[in-house]
């Protein structure tokens, strides 16, 4: 029966990766086992032959050197990105995108600022014009249609109803342009 301890621990022993107790146990085994000691001798002989300085210092053949140099010296050809593989194109596109984003953000904020300024001016103008409209309506409505009466100026907007009818509640009062039928029925 052949010993298999060389397969388990032989290469670890030669690489000095066995712990001290296992290494000393394997050394004792090598003295007593003929199969493992012949494997050790064969391994050391092959190691000396293949890892010799003369073999490792040999230069590569000339044709192999020329082939490596020719493959490494070829210019790189862009394959998938096409025009965007050139660095100056990437920089130009990136710069244009950043510029466009800046212009868009600046436009958005200036538009929002303009809207806030004009809406506050519009609210002020609306409050003054609706109070003037209510005063005008009180004077002109009875003259134009004697059966209409001014109910109230809710939120600055005059509301009329025919005499004897109820006006709309304040929550449902129409906003904006109020149509008044001034024809007599």
* Residue of 23, 82, 118 lying closest to 10 (CA atoms): 23
Give the dihedral sign, CA 107/113/116/121: negative
Which two three-digit tokens encode residue 125?
Answer: 């103008």
Q: What would the pLDDT profile of 84-103 be if each residue is shown by its tens digit?
A: 667 777 788 889 999 999 99
Give dist(CA 27, CA 14) in Å, integer: 11
Q: What would the pLDDT profile of 117-170 be if each residue is shown by its tens digit?
A: 777 656 655 555 555 555 554 444 444 455 555 555 445 555 555 555 555 554
Mark whether 50 and 94 lie in a shared domain: no
Q: What is the mean pLDDT of the chain?
A: 74
Is the residue at 166 inside a domain? no
Is the residue at 183 inside a domain? no
Which two three-digit tokens encode residue 141?
Answer: 């409505």
Q: Give me the pLDDT at residue 132, please.
A: 55
Percent of the chain whose pLDDT exceeds 70: 60
Is the residue at 69 inside a domain? no
Give dist(CA 24, CA 26) in Å, integer: 5
Q: CB-based burial of residue 124 (10 Å sphere; 0-12 exposed, 13-18 middle, 19+ buried)?
A: exposed
Residues with Cβ within 8 Å of 151's Cβ and at least 6 positions away in sequence, in order, are 159, 160, 161, 167
Q: Could you tell me the pTM of the whole model?
A: 0.31
Mark whether 94 and 53 lie in a shared domain: no
Number of domains in the chain: 2
Mark whether 95 and 148 lie in a shared domain: yes
Q: Which domain holds residue 124?
A: 90-155
Which two three-digit tokens encode residue 103?
Answer: 């212009």
Is the residue at 21 inside a domain? yes
Is the residue at 140 inside a domain? yes
């Amino acid at each position: 029966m052949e010993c298999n301890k060389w397969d388990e621990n032989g290469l670890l022993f030669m690489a000095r990766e066995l712990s001290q107790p296992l290494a000393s146990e394997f050394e004792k085994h090598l003295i007593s086992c003929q199969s493992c000691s012949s494997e050790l001798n064969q391994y050391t002989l092959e190691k000396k032959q293949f890892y010799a300085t003369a073999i490792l210092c040999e230069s590569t053949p000339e044709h192999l050197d020329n082939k490596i140099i020719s493959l490494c010296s070829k210019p790189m050809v862009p394959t998938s990105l096409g025009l965007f593989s050139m660095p100056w194109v990437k920089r130009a596109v990136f710069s244009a995108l950043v510029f466009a984003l800046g212009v868009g953000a600046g436009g958005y904020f200036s538009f929002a600022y303009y809207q806030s300024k004009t809406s506050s001016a519009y609210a002020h103008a609306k409050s003054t014009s609706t109070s003037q409209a209510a005063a005008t309506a009180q004077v002109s409505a009875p003259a134009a249609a004697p059966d209409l009466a001014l109910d109230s100026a809710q939120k600055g907007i005059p509301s009329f109803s025919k005499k004897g009818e109820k006006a709309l509640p304040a929550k449902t009062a129409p906003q904006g342009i109020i149509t008044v039928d001034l024809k007599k029925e």
